[in-house]
Amino acid sequence: MNAPDAAVQARQQLYRDMDPHNLTPLWEVLHALVPPQPRSPCVPAHWKYDEVRPFLMRAGQAITADEAVRRVLILENPALRGQSAATQSLYAGLQLILPGEVAPSHRHVQSALRFIVEGSGAYTAVDGERTTMHPGDFIITPSWTFHDHGNEADGPVVWLDGLDIPMVRFLDAGFAENDTARSQQVTRAEGSSLARYGHNMVPVRHDAPFGATSPIFSYPYERSRQALEQLERDAPIDAWDGVKLRYVNPLTGGYPMPTMATFMQKLPAGFAGKCWRQTDGAVYSVVEGSGSVEVEAGEQRWRFDFGPRDHFVIPSWHTARLSSPGGCVLFSFSDRPVHQALAIHREERLS
Ligand code: 1HN
């Protein structure tokens, strides 16, 4: 029922009079503030590698890694242009490093993950240890640790950067500083963190070297793939996810980073998955093979046919379904640990 004209006018006058005092009536915005279900401003998005790669290579001609500090093309959600965000909470970008280049050492509060997309033989260094990159490896830069990258191989190396930049920005909690050295000194042998923490054993006396972040900083693809292949052969296939595993912090059993969860999944050839939706928005990197993702929200529908090295985003509470006639491997990351820490995570598996 509408209020009579006089009442409406009195209200409008009230709003105008209080406005200069920075006061707003809740009852005019209540519904939008507390929606019956999430209505993400993000849209599903797809970046085909064939289309992105030429721009990355042109960026390689246009600016050095040293000049750029980080030579990255940001994967911006089409509905959030200008915000450097793939979803409301997650940043994603593709970083290129050419032979002989160094991306200088610095540190920041924002946590980062690297997922290697193309090329081998570049390294990243964290806390005095280097790790060599191979396609499909998942590498972590914990919050507030110095890190630099370099390429001592003979071809370009490209990786996906995933950072919690929008979350840290939302909380106004960002700090950053440059290192005194361009490349940090190597103080530990390559592979020592994996040997210490990555074989179902841990040192007898230890403190978590990176606090809430996993002490393993490179999770090699070779091992993730082996696990997925064995499970594809020997275990039931999940009707929604195919074969899907999450990466783990071996000291806690939780996610490798406090703000981001990471996953790898294999869809067997002929997989036609069921629909699901979840409140954590996710960014996907196609490791091998091809397939398609169908996404639905309200009346809107999207379908992306993806191939190797493509990237795509499924926003919060969008219904999605994966299929793959020939089989494929997908890496993904999301803000699920934050949802779970706040006890607000929801997931629905639809039939
Ligand atoms: C950063 O430090 C890296 O270390 C990549 O490779 C992307 C985006 C924003 C801020 C810092 C890196 C970044 C970043």
For the chain, the domains span 38-349
| Mean pLDDT of the region 292-310 | 98
Annotate 78-106 with DSSP letters as a single string: GGGTTS--SSSS-EEEEEEE-TT-EEEEE
| Mean pLDDT of the region 321-326 | 98
Q: From CA 42, how far away is CA 315, in angstroms rounded?
A: 6
Q: How confident is the model at residue 23 (pLDDT cuts 50, 70, 90)?
A: very high
Both structure tokens of 93: 């970008």
- Residue 89 has a pLDDT of 98
Q: What is the dihedral of CA 302, 306, 311, 315, to 10 degrees?
A: 30
Q: From CA 114, how far away is CA 245, in angstroms rounded?
A: 18
Residue bearing the bigger pLDDT, 57 or 3: 57
pLDDT (tens digit per residue) in 37-79:
999 999 999 999 999 999 999 999 999 999 999 999 999 999 9
Q: From CA 336, how far away is CA 329, in angstroms rounded?
A: 21
Residue reference for tokens 């006058």: 13
Q: How confident is the model at residue 19 (pLDDT cuts 50, 70, 90)?
A: very high
The closest of 262, 230, 290 to 50, measured between CA atoms, is 290
Percent of the chain with pLDDT over 70: 100
The closest of 223, 222, 148, 227 to 183, measured between CA atoms, is 148
Going by CA atoms, what residue is nearest to atom 3 of ligand 1? 70
Ligand 1 centroid vs 49 CA: distance in angstroms? Answer: 20
C-beta separation of 224 from 277 below 8 A: no
Instruction: Check if CATH label 2.60.120.560 holds for domain 38-349.
Output: no
Is the per-residue pLDDT at 139 higher than 70?
A: yes
Is the per-residue pLDDT at 134 higher than 70?
A: yes
**Structure letter (DSSP) for residue 286:** E
Q: From CA 102, how far away is CA 69, in angstroms rounded?
A: 9
Pocket flag, ligand 1, residue 72 (CB < 6 Å): yes
Q: Point out the ligand 1 atom lying closest to the alpha carbon of residue 148.
A: 4
pLDDT (tens digit per residue) in 199-256:
999 999 988 999 999 999 999 999 999 999 999 999 999 999 999 999 999 999 999 9
**Structure letter (DSSP) for residue 157:** E
Pocket flag, ligand 1, residue 164 (CB < 6 Å): no
Ligand 1 centroid vs 97 CA: distance in angstroms? Answer: 13
Pocket flag, ligand 1, residue 95 (CB < 6 Å): yes
Whole-number average pLDDT of the chain: 97
Residue reference for tokens 């841990």: 202
- Residue 4 has a pLDDT of 86
Pocket flag, ligand 1, residue 112 (CB < 6 Å): yes
Pocket flag, ligand 1, residue 161 (CB < 6 Å): yes
Going by CA atoms, what residue is nearest to atom 1 of ligand 1? 70
Half-sphere exposure of 217 (CA within 13 A, CB side): 29
The closest of 215, 232, 244 to 126, measured between CA atoms, is 215
Is the per-residue pLDDT at 1 higher than 70?
A: no
CA 215 to chain centre: 19
Q: List the Cα angle 234/235/240 in 5-degree steps.
A: 140
| Mean pLDDT of the region 295-315 | 98
- Residue 194 has a pLDDT of 96
Q: From CA 158, how far away is CA 63, in angstroms rounded?
A: 15
Q: What is the pTM of this model?
A: 0.97
pLDDT (tens digit per residue) in 77-106:
999 999 999 999 999 999 999 999 999 999
